């Protein structure tokens, strides 16, 4: 089940990226399908933000990027980075086995 997460948690699993990406896209009817998924599970902040900053220009304007992260700092730092850089934090979805899929829309 997907639900908006308000607290921190850590975790991760041994599943491969394709399986985690499929989970990240499940149950999000009405939400934009991510054009790119960045797997930052198991990485500590600021690495998820650095990975996002390096790859955000690889998608078209107004496309959505999903950042998979399980570091509690990423849950708050990625939306803050979006505000700082004038991109849109679309939503954060809890992953079934810990962490979040944090969706960012490229604005420029």
Does residue 7 form part of some domain? no
Tokens 């934009």, located at residue:
32
Q: What is the pLDDT of residue 102?
A: 98
In a domain, 10, yes or no: no
- The answer to whether residue 93 is domain-embedded is yes
In a domain, 11, yes or no: no
Q: Where are the beta strands (DSSP E) in the chain?
A: 36-39, 64-69, 88-94, 100-105
Q: How many domains does the chain have?
A: 1
| Separation CA 79–CA 47 (nearest Å) | 14
Assessment of whether the complete model's pTM goes beyond 0.95: no
pLDDT at 15: 45
Residue 22 within any structural domain of the chain? no
Contact indicator for 37, 65 with CB cutoff of 8 Å: yes
Residues forming the active site: 45
- Return per-residue pLDDT of the chain as tens, 108 residues: 344 444 444 444 444 444 444 444 444 544 689 999 999 999 999 999 999 999 999 999 999 999 999 999 999 999 999 999 999 999 999 999 999 999 999 999
**49: containing domain:** 32-105
pLDDT at 33: 93
Q: Would you state the pLDDT for residue 4?
A: 47
Q: According to the model, what pLDDT value does residue 32 have?
A: 81
In this prediction, residue 20 carries a pLDDT of 44
């Amino acid at each position: 089940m997907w639900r908006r997460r308000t607290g921190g948690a850590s975790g991760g699993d041994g599943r491969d990226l394709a399986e985690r990406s499929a989970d990240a896209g499940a149950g999000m009817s009405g939400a934009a399908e991510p054009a790119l998924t960045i797997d930052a599970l198991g990485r500590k902040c600021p690495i998820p933000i650095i990975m996002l900053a390096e790859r955000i220009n690889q998608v078209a304007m107004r496309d959505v990027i999903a950042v998979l992260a399980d570091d509690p700092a990423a849950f708050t730092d990625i939306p803050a980075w979006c505000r700082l850089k004038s991109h849109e934090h679309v939503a954060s979805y809890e992953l079934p086995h810990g962490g979040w899929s944090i969706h960012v829309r490229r604005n420029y």
